[in-house]
Amino acid sequence: MGLTLEQRRELRRRKDRRDRIVGILAPTFTFVLLLAAWEALVVWLEIPTWQIPRPSSVFAVMFGSFGEFLPHIIRSYSTIIIAFACASVVGVALAAILTNFKALGVALTPYINMLCTTPVITLVPLLLLMFGFGQWVLILAVTLQAFPILNMNASTGFNNVETLKLELMGSLRATRVQTFRHCILPASLPNVFTGMKLSGIFATTACVSSEFSGGNRGLGARIIAYTQFMKMDKAFACIFFVAVIGLFLYTLTSYLETRVVKWKI
Amino acid sequence: MSNAKIRLVGLNKLFHTRFQTIEAVRNVDMEFAAGDFVSIIGPSGCGKSTIIRMIDDLIKPTSGEIFIDGRRVSPHRRIPPEVIRKIGFIFQQPNMYPWMTVRENVMLPLRVFGLRDPEWARHADALIEMTGLREQRHAYPTELSGGSMQRAGVIRAMVHKPDILLMDEPFGALDEMTREQLNLELLDIWRATGKTIVFITHSVQEAVLLSNRVYVMGTNPGRVVDEIAVDLPRPRNLKLIVSDRFAGYCELLTGRIGQVELSQIK
């Protein structure tokens, strides 16, 4: 241990940088390989393009007909992002409240869990019938599906802080708010971020499946429409656009985690 | 003696689990004079950790009374904040928060108590300087050795200038050499500041090296079985450990603890 703190940190930073480069290159390589295999299989086996399109034609359509997709991309992405933001706030805030007021937690937790295990798509036709096809109805539905999983993860974190760590706050006679801010929340951040990653996945799934069930706007609705007319290249283009937003939310959360949880080596 | 810093009178503590009731502490009377260094020693399960947790009001006694500076603080109501500020609690493990740097950890009590005057921050930095942690003050606890972490744990408990330090086997998890080093540093701090220290340990040598007085406790139920004054010259150092008188005290204490354990078997 002849190294100073700064030297050790520099070594770690260098290692992190190496890991990051490998972390980008390796998956990209896999991606290209998979697409190449897909393209080759479709050509060799002479699969009709109305069954499975070639990735090259999917990409061509994605960029060539981008204007056609754009309003639906905006619609779906905005639904997902707004609902994800709402779910993040509601999920963490509710977990903080429910773990602090035990009786309320016991009273509500089973129903929040039920909300999590019930597919929101079962509610959407009902909601659309009641409130019409406005975007906010979908935002509401997607939020309902996305926040409980975050709430569950955050609650698990908030409830399982080491006794010794809480005792320190107890010995200083910290208030509930101080205890939450200095001890419980930072100790649970890994759980919160896991919850957010899952919440992003839930939001994406919920949005697309909600769009399946009604209306003619959004990527989900387009997938149904294009499939009916056997425009498989366009349907796949929509699937790719959905994949992009899902991946974006996941990557964003992971990035936030590394920035916020910087004490984890 | 009404001028005792801390006085425990007829303290009892029952823990109720689902299957049984455990008598953790029975009828404990203890006194700690201002500026005294007193150890509490005993086998695990003798209630020594429970006792200092009751002094710090982390656990409520079932019955009995606790006085701090002649003022009754337990069991009837919550310990008042000005009394809490007189106490610094040092845990078995360093118990640093991994999400804060060493300096932030040390300053944490100041934040919780709302002591925002820059004078306090300077005091914290002086303590960091004193323990040789200056280089590492912006490091995270996981980047520190066990000994350095517990040094930070000790000064965190001292940062709000308490009169009393309650130490719950603070160096128990450290290796022998680091432990001796920290014991000597603790004696220096004690000599310089004159704080009242209640020190829990299960090491006979540590108790003899550090304290003026040792309470020996037994188990089932946890109770005080003996009180031994350690009449060795101060300042004490490691040379003392090889002296005959030191060995004599260790033998005496070991004997008393041994008797307690034998009586358990019977």
Structure confidence by residue, pLDDT tens digits, B152-167: 999 999 999 999 999 9
pLDDT digit string (tens) for A124-139?
888 888 888 789 999 9
- Dist. CA A226–CA B48, nearest whole Å: 74
Beta pairing partners, B90:
B167
Identity of the residue in A167, A178, A263 whose CB atom sits nearest the CB atom of B112: A178
Asked whether the beta carbons of residue A165 and residue B95 sit closer than 8 angstroms, the reply is yes
Same domain, A73 and A110: yes
Residue A99 domain-assigned (yes or no): yes
Residue A42 domain-assigned (yes or no): yes
Same domain, A21 and A110: no
Extract long-range pairs of B231-236: CB within 8 Å, 24+ residues apart.
B232/B208, B234/B191, B235/B187, B235/B191, B236/B187, B236/B209, B236/B210
Same domain, A37 and A87: no
- B85: three-class secondary structure by DSSP: coil
- Residue showing tokens 């399109």: A53
Same domain, A81 and A30: no
Looking at the complex, does the CB of residue A167 fall below 8 Å from at least one CB of chain B?
yes
For residue B145, is it left (φ>0), alpha (ψ between -120 and 50) or beta? beta
pLDDT for res A237 = 95
pLDDT for res A43 = 92
pLDDT at A151 over 60: yes
pLDDT digit string (tens) for A23-49?
889 999 999 999 999 999 999 999 998
Domain membership of residue A30 as a residue range: 1-47
Residue A54 domain-assigned (yes or no): no
Beta pairing partners, B71:
B68
Identity of the residue in A5, A164, A171 whose CB atom sits nearest the CB atom of B136: A5
- The tokens describing B204, both together, are 């006979």
Same domain, A163 and A215: yes
Same domain, A119 and A2: no
- In the A/B pair of chains, how many CB contacts fall below 8 A? 62
- Dist. CA B136–CA B142, nearest whole Å: 11
Residue A58 domain-assigned (yes or no): no
Instruction: Report DSSP state, residue B134.
Output: G
Residue A53 domain-assigned (yes or no): no
- B16 Cα distance to chain centroid: 26
Contacts of A5 in chain B (CB under 8 A): 135-136, 139, 143
Residue A244 domain-assigned (yes or no): yes
Residue A74 domain-assigned (yes or no): yes
Interface test with A, best of B59, B99, B103 (most A CBs within 10 A): B99
Give the CA angle between residues A25, A27, A33 to the nearest 5°: 100
pLDDT at A265 over 60: no
Residues of B with CB under 8 A from a CB of A: 56-58, 79, 81, 84, 87, 89, 91-93, 95, 97-100, 108-109, 111-113, 135-136, 139-140, 142-143
pLDDT for res B265 = 61
Q: How many domains does chain A have?
A: 2
pLDDT for res B84 = 86
H helix runs in B114-243, sequence order: 118-130, 146-158, 176-193, 204-210, 238-241
pLDDT digit string (tens) for A58-107?
999 999 999 999 999 999 999 999 999 999 999 999 999 999 998 999 99
Asked whether the beta carbons of residue A182 and residue B89 sit closer than 8 angstroms, the reply is no
- Dist. CA A93–CA A99, nearest whole Å: 10
3-state SS string for chain A: CCCCHHHHHHHHHHHHHHHHHHHHHHHHHHHHHHHHHHHHHHHHCCCCCCCCCCHHHHHHHHHHCHHHHHHHHHHHHHHHHHHHHHHHHHHHHHHHHHHHCHHHHHHHHHHHHHHHHCCHHHCHHHHHHHHCCCHHHHHHHHHHHHHHHHHHHHHHHHHCCCHHHHHHHHHCCCCHHHHHHHHHHHHHHHHHHHHHHHHHHHHHHHHHHHHHCCCCCCHHHHHHHHHHCCCHHHHHHHHHHHHHHHHHHHHHHHHHHHHHCCCCC
Q: What does residue B222 show for φ and ψ, rounded to 5 degrees? A: -65, 125
Q: Which helix (H) or strand (E) holds B82?
A: helix B81-84
Tell me the domains of chain B and their CATH numbers.
4-86+202-265 (3.40.50.300)
Instruction: Report DSSP state, residue B114.
Output: T
Confidence bin at A162 (pLDDT 50/70/90): very high
The CA-to-CA distance between both ends of chain B, in Å, stands at: 37
Looking at the complex, does the CB of residue A5 fall below 8 Å from at least one CB of chain B?
yes
Same domain, A111 and A214: yes
Q: Running along chain B, 266 residues long, what does each successive block of 10 average in pLDDT?
A: 81 89 91 95 88 90 90 74 89 92 96 93 94 90 90 94 94 89 93 94 93 92 90 88 91 86 64
Same domain, A150 and A28: no
Same domain, A120 and A220: yes
Identity of the residue in B95, B112, B139 whose CB atom sits nearest the CB atom of A174: B112
Looking at the complex, does the CB of residue A183 fall below 8 Å from at least one CB of chain B?
yes
Query: What mean pLDDT, rounded, does chain A reach?
Result: 92
CATH number of the domain to which A227 belongs: 1.10.3720.10
Distance from CA of A157 to the nearest CA of B (A): 15
C-alpha dihedral, A230 to A231 to A237 to A242, nearest 10°: -40
CB neighbour class for A17 (10 Å; exposed up to 12, middle 13-18, buried from 19): exposed
Interface test with A, best of B60, B101, B108 (most A CBs within 10 A): B108
Same domain, A15 and A141: no
Looking at the complex, does the CB of residue A259 fall below 8 Å from at least one CB of chain B?
no
pLDDT at A118 over 90: no
Looking at the complex, does the CB of residue A163 fall below 8 Å from at least one CB of chain B?
no
Q: Which helix (H) or strand (E) holds B165?
A: strand B164-168
Same domain, A152 and A255: yes
What's the whole-number mean pLDDT along residues A138-150? Answer: 94
Residue A28 domain-assigned (yes or no): yes
Beta pairing partners, B7:
B31, B67
- The tokens describing B89, both together, are 């609690």
Same domain, A198 and A156: yes
Looking at the complex, does the CB of residue A45 fall below 8 Å from at least one CB of chain B?
no
